[in-house]
């Protein structure tokens, strides 16, 4: 026997109401905004004549998305993120004292980016070598630090953190090693995971975590930063090789920090790869800045009502 008409009508009303409420839920609206971002970033990457991998991680919700995020790419100087972590970890272990001073051995001076190769035999603190490595991507400073902490120790530490594809396999400007295929490598997902570890300070003392992030926040030229408005902090490290452009960092968008890694290789035009990183960085920032500025339904920060503005 069919239920009475009144019961059928009530059930139908409740069903319609539930569907309506679901359709209007904040989560479904935010999901549409995220879908728009995913399509936008995918479109930027698709227009590059080369291979582009990336991962985006919301450090508030732990939601992420990416493309080729588990593919192994050359890191170029972005591998220096792993050196930063290992340096501060060894400082915590008492194996390194950051204020100890080292006189540069000219035999370790190499070309490429940086200034130490042209400076004779300066005596600098380990902390200063780290600043040159991060700010100017100084290859000589980087090699001093690699010799200090050990390339094998960096790779082993990354493996211990679950980042088995992240490998420091050669010193900077070791062209023979590069020709053998001994590149420094990682994946977008592992670089983002390393950034997340740095953000939380996993395995580091609070003081070392703060110092590591402060180091990575220091002024530098990067494609990731070029996509951000002035005044927005980022803790990042770019990298470049022939046919390769990489950038990865934590962006401290208001109320909504996130981690981003973009890795490109086989580029026909390196300039095109650089523009893609800038455009992806800008698109991702615009998304997170809206999440950080809006209420649950996307309304921006509520202020005193302006004349003639509706409630």
Secondary structure (H, E, C), the chain:
CCCCHHHHHHHHHHHHHHHHHHHCCHHHHHHHHHHHHHHHHHHHHHCCCCEEEEEEEECCCCCEEEECCCCCEECHHHHHHHHHHHHHHHHHCCCCCCCCEEECCHHHCCCCCCCHHHCCCCEEEHHHHHHHHHHCCCHHHHHHHHHHHCHHHHHHHHHHCCCCCCECCCCCCCHHHHHCCCCCEECHHHHHHHHHHHHHCCCCCHHHHHHHHHHHHCCCCCHHHHCCCCCCCEEEEEEEECCEEEEEEEECCCCCCEEEEEEEECCCCHHHHHHHHHHHHHHHHHHHHHHHHECCCCCECCCCCCCCCCC
Mean per-residue pLDDT for 61-67?
A: 97
d(CA 253, CA 291): 9
- Give the end-to-end CA distance of the chain in Å, rounded to a whole number: 50
Residue 305: per-residue pLDDT: 56
- Name the pLDDT band for 304 (thresholds 50, 70, 90): low
Determine the Cα–Cα distance for residues 81 and 196; give it in Å rounded to an integer: 12
Higher-confidence residue: 177 or 225? 225
Residue 207 predicted with pLDDT over 50:
yes
Widest pairwise Cα distance in the chain: 97
Classify residue 306 as exposed, middle or buried by CB count within 10 Å of its CB (0-12, 13-18, 19+): exposed
pLDDT at 239 over 70: yes
| pLDDT score for 191 | 98
pTM of the model: 0.88
**Quick check: 69 pLDDT over 60?**
yes
Could you tell me what percent of the chain has a pLDDT over 70? 87
Span 243-255, pLDDT tens digits: 999 999 999 999 9
> Can you tell me which residue has the tokens 């615009």?
286
pLDDT score at 174: 87
**Structure-token pair, residue 114:** 């940086």
pLDDT of residue 113: 86
Q: What are phi and psi of 207, to 5 degrees?
A: -65, -45
Q: pLDDT of 151-201, one tens digit each?
A: 999 999 999 999 999 999 999 988 888 889 899 999 999 999 999 999 999
| Residues linked to residue 247 through DSSP beta bridges, in sequence order | 238, 262
pLDDT at residue 274, as a whole number? 98
For residues 279-297, give the mean pLDDT.
91
Please report which confidence band the pLDDT of residue 13 belongs to, taking 50, 70 and 90 as the band edges. Answer: very low
CB of 251 closer than 8 Å to CB of 245: no
Give residue 22's pLDDT.
Answer: 44
Mean pLDDT of 23-32: 73
Domains of the chain in start order, with CATH, are: 45-292 (3.40.710.10)
């Amino acid at each position: 026997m069919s239920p009475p008409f009144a019961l059928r009508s009530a059930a139908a009303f409740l069903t319609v109401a539930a569907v309506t409420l679901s359709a209007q839920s904040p989560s479904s609206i935010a999901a549409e905004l995220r879908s728009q971002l995913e399509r936008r970033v995918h479109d930027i990457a698709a227009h590059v004549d080369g291979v582009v991998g990336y991962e985006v991680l919301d450090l508030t919700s732990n939601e992420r998305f990416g493309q080729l995020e588990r593919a192994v790419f050359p890191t170029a100087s972005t591998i220096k993120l792993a050196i930063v972590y290992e340096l501060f970890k060894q400082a915590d272990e008492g194996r390194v004292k950051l204020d100890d001073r080292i006189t540069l051995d000219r035999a370790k001076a190499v070309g490429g980016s940086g200034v130490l190769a042209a400076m004779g035999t300066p005596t600098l603190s380990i902390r200063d070598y780290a600043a040159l490595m991060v700010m100017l991507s100084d290859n000589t400073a980087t090699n001093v630090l690699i010799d200090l902490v050990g390339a094998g120790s960096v790779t082993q530490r990354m493996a211990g953190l679950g980042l088995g594809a992240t490998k420091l396999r050669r010193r900077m400007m070791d062209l023979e090693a590069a020709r053998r295929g001994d590149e420094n490598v990682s994946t977008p997902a592992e670089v983002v995971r390393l950034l997340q570890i740095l953000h939380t300070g996993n395995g580091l003392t609070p003081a070392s975590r703060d110092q590591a992030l402060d180091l990575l926040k220091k002024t530098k030229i990067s494609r990731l930063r070029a996509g951000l408005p002035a005044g927005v902090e980022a803790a990042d490290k770019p990298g470049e090789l022939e046919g390769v452009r990489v950038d990865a960092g934590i962006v401290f968008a208001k109320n909504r920090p996130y981690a981003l890694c973009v890795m490109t290789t086989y580029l026909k035009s390196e300039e095109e790869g650089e523009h893609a990183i800038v455009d992806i960085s800008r698109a991702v920032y615009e998304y997170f800045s809206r999440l950080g500025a809006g209420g649950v339904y996307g309304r921006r920060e509520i202020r005193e009502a302006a004349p003639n503005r509706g409630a």
